[in-house]
Amino acid sequence: MQFVRNLASWNMISLPKSVGGWEIRYLPRLSLALASKSLWRALFGKNLWSEVIRKKYLHGMDSAFWLRQNKHTNRTCSIFWKHLLDVVFVVKSWVIWKVGDGNRAIVGRDPFVGCVGNYKLSHELMVHLQSLNIHTLTHISSKSSNIRTGLGDWLTANELDLSGDMKKEWEFFIQNIRKNGVSLFETGDRLVCSWNFKTGEVNAKLAYDSLVYK
């Protein structure tokens, strides 16, 4: 009689015990989590090390603008930075704007708190908005809005001269914003981690847990 040893997959044994796993850290996933934390510190940290990294590899470019790029390559960089570049796609999937004055969150392109699942707009509508010189949330704020109090409203489809499908799309977008209470304030917009609103930063443990449940 031949005995067959059944092997448990890492996807199973790395899960928390509460869902049937063994809660054993999977090293490749842990490496991703640690690298994600380091990349976040490099891009948004306030210390000297972060400033040196940004000056050396971002060459003065804004961190948010750098993240928006489709390609992140650097053939002459260090092994350390190459490793961090491997997790850019992970960090990009986590970042979200916490809206302040609305000057940095791009309408129809950037996810923001209060409009995560339905933030993207069609290409046709984006082109129309750009033709009106509308790019950020500030540009779609109604003239009656007051960023000192957070009171106000958003431009309507009629004000933007929209019709047909674009009108319906815009009305749905604005309805979603209103429903979630998105308002503009005097503080600046800032990027935060979508699963850690408490501090807004990427935490290694929470990053690992996020990768496990992904």
pLDDT greater at residue 22 or residue 2:
22
pLDDT given at position 50: 93
Question: Is 150's pLDDT higher than 60?
Answer: no
E-only strand ranges, 1-127: 95-98
Query: Which residue bears the tokens 């984006």?
Result: 126
Handedness of CA 84, 46, 139, 185 (dihedral sign): positive
Cα gap 50→43, rounded to integer Å: 7
Question: Is 41's pLDDT higher than 90?
Answer: yes
Region 102-108: mean pLDDT is: 92
pLDDT given at position 4: 57
Question: Is 3's pLDDT higher than 60?
Answer: no
At 79, is the pLDDT very low, low, confident or very high (cuts 50, 70, 90)?
A: confident
Question: Is 149's pLDDT higher than 50?
Answer: no
At 135, is the pLDDT very low, low, confident or very high (cuts 50, 70, 90)?
A: very high
Region 21-45: mean pLDDT is: 87
Q: pLDDT tens for residues 166-214? A: 999 999 999 998 888 888 888 889 999 888 877 888 888 888 888 876 6
Region 117-146: mean pLDDT is: 86
Region 11-34: mean pLDDT is: 77
Cα gap 178→57, rounded to integer Å: 39
Cα gap 213→199, rounded to integer Å: 21
